[in-house]
Homo-oligomer: A and B are copies of this chain.
Amino acid sequence: MPLKKKIKIGFLGMGTVAQGVWKHLDKNRREMSSRFGIDYELSRVGVRDLSKKRDVKIPPSKMTGDLYEVVNDPSIDIVCELMGGTGLAFEMTIAALKRGKIVVSANKAVICERGAEIFETARKFGGAYFFEASVAGGIPVIKILREGLVANRFPLIYGILNGTCNYILTRMERENASFETILSDARRLGYVEADESLDIDGFDAAHKISILTYLAHGAWVRTKDMLISGIRGIQLEDMLFARDFDCKIKLIASVRKNEKTNAIFASVYPALLPLTDVVANVNEVYNAVSLTGDVVGHTVYIGRGAGQDATASAVIADIADAIRYKQGAPMRPPASELGSDVRLAHLDEISARFYLRLEVKDAAGVLAKIAAILARQNISIALLRQYKHETPGRAWLVLTTHETTESDIKNACAELKKSSVVKGSAFVLRIFSSVK
């Protein structure tokens, strides 16, 4: 490929992240060019709404309301798709790749839903697709996983992949405040996505662990095949009780692979994490990703998981790699060639230690009844604590179990619900262990 003197970069979308990318590339042109090894031009910006007010100053001549003007411009080498969504963003990505362009994206949703098609189109038309910013914001975890740890298989990947949930849990814990109070605050501060459920109910984290699962194991796991639960239902009491077990509660996204059975299990759930785990001490909007490799051992990566600048840092790293691809660097072999033989784990193959919070009658014999229910499901109690309840005649019974399968705990909860000594349902959390 003949070397060009200048790389031309186009944008689809000019929201928060895109403005961050524009700002840094525009402001530090000399330094960035010397790091890229080539000069560049920010040549064309396609947006849906030209009239929208934006903080960065872009010459009006570079702006267009017709996205196709960006992807059809033969002089543009790299297209940054930072518009989000899975409809138009997918259409424009495919259109750009079909013209042999390199696409850089932060769009985790479109990768999860249409990643296989996107990668295949890139391959077929000699383009390329980079997506570092889609997982864990500024932490270059995709590069670390694929390149820095290329020698490794990954029996366990886990971490805090949603900054909003981590922010809420951190403030609940620090301020002894309820979930609802902090959530309203987070809404006011603009920390929660428009579709709130994406953050709070774990789907955003699920998209991200799905991408890491694909990269590590070569298989796409759909959100419908994951165990996903968010942070609703966590009460302030749980934060306090967790402390008595030397743990913190974090929303943990994880994927485990059993090397013997080739079964993989991806999930997102709030879990008790022992304070000795460095990830338990990652607070506020920070993300943490732990990659356990069969060669390198246990590693952890921490940084801001979102925000204009952190995400722009990842997009710019992708632009640097896109330039190298343009200059002749071969693409890494696709992850899909790695692990065609993996399969999804069944619920009865998956075990964990559990935390159960039960609202019970404060009466003699209650404990015996609950112990009997658990025993019938082969669940062994590790530790049990009783706490005062604000309602007279009631108590909180909090217990942790030894290793138990997901199916056994499910059955036990169904039975507990029917029991006359338990009010409502048991609130269940998993106890996450990185060493089992």
Contacts and interface: CB of A to CB of B under 8 A. Distances in A.
A304 B297 contact: yes
A32 B140 contact: no
A330 to B, nearest CB: 5
B299 A299 contact: no
Contact of A337 (B34, B139, B307): B34
A319 to B, nearest CB: 9
Contact of A147 (B140, B150, B307, B310): B140
B151 A143 contact: no
Contact of A298 (B24, B35, B303, B320): B303
Nearest to A298: B303
Given A328-B328, A330-B324, A303 B297 contact: yes
B321 A296 contact: no
Interface string A293-307: 101111111111001
**Count of identical protomers in the assembly:** 2
B143 A316 contact: no
Given A302-B278, A330-B324, A333-B35, A296 B147 contact: no
Contact of A148 (B140, B307, B337): B140
A224 interface: no
Contact of A278 (B151, B282, B337): B282
Contacts of A327: 329-330
Interface string A139-182: 11001100111111100000000000000000000000000000
A361 to B, nearest CB: 41
B297 A147 contact: no
A314 B300 CA distance: 15
Contacts of A138: 293, 295-297, 299
A263 interface: no
A230 to B, nearest CB: 25
A35 B313 contact: no
A330 B320 CA distance: 12
A150 B35 contact: yes
A23 to B, nearest CB: 10
A312 interface: yes
A126 interface: no
Contacts of A297: 138, 303-304, 307, 309-310
A81 interface: no
A295 B309 contact: yes
A332 interface: yes
A37 B333 contact: yes
7 contacts: A34-B337, A138-B293, A140-B148, A143-B144, A151-B316, A297-B307, A301-B302
